[in-house]
Chains A and B, each alone.
Chain A
């Protein structure tokens, strides 16, 4: 019975990891690559670790597997957010078929802060509205 569960979880885990690798290779844009990487790889590796827990069926192994899965679930979005933010500030272009860029002209490119939060930006906005 547990053998069947090990087949299913490890098979789906390998499929999701393969999909993440193909997406990393073929996606046209850095931001899409980061997105694929985070979601599919997290799910695939989580399923592979679950297969290990189901195979051994011991408390110590299950505890370790749960610790690793929770750690990956917490850190993957944080790392993806940081590297995506850096990529935006480095000026890497979006895919040419992307429709909208919600952050366009909303960031101060020198201080890396949202506009309207520093005193200079507020003064500039007031000056522009008086014109």
Chain B
């Protein structure tokens, strides 16, 4: 079993199962804060999947996309937190 098979048959399925588990929380989440946290974790797992995928295809250019995704995850969390707090404050 070389590195390619290990990543393809073990690591990627584990990452897929974990993103499915987070997706369950995303749909179930009792309040909107749970959904924001689950979305953040989904994008973070996406960064890991991109790293594995760049190894599999031997193309390190894909790692640029992970930087953009990290930025989007942070901005999304901060924007949602700011919006929810201000909405609650002005009631």
B is a partner of A? yes
Asked if A60 lies at the interface with its beta carbon under 8 angstroms from chain B, I say: yes
Contact with A along B2-34 (1 / 0, CB 8 A): 110011001100110111011011000001011
User: Number of residues in B with C-beta < 8 Å to the partner?
Assistant: 49
Q: Would B55 and A82 count as touching, CB distance under 8 A?
A: no
Q: Would B85 and A3 count as touching, CB distance under 8 A?
A: no
Within 8 A of B (CB), among A82-112: 82-83, 85-87, 89-90, 92, 110, 112
If A41-B44, A65-B63 touch, does A14 touch B36 (CB 8 Å cutoff)? no
Task: Report which of A6, A33, A86 forms a contact with B84, defined as CB distance below 8 A.
Answer: A86
Contact with B along A19-62 (1 / 0, CB 8 A): 01110110000100110010001101100110110011010110
Contact with A along B41-83 (1 / 0, CB 8 A): 1001101100110110000100110110011011001101110
CB distance from B21 to the nearest CB of A (A): 4
Task: Report which of B60, B70, B81 forms a contact with A82, defined as CB distance below 8 A.
Answer: B81
User: Number of residues in A with C-beta < 8 Å to the partner?
Assistant: 51
Identify whether the interface residues of B are mostly helix, strand, loop, or mixed.
Answer: helix
CB distance from A78 to the nearest CB of B (A): 7
Asked if A118 lies at the interface with its beta carbon under 8 angstroms from chain B, I say: no
| Smallest CB gap from A112: residue in B | B89
If A44-B48, A90-B33 touch, does A83 touch B81 (CB 8 Å cutoff)? yes
Binding site for B on A (CB under 8 A): 3, 6-7, 10-11, 13-15, 17-18, 20-22, 24-25, 30, 33-34, 37, 41-42, 44-45, 48-49, 51-52, 55-56, 58, 60-61, 64-65, 67-68, 71-72, 75, 78-79, 82-83, 85-87, 89-90, 92, 110, 112
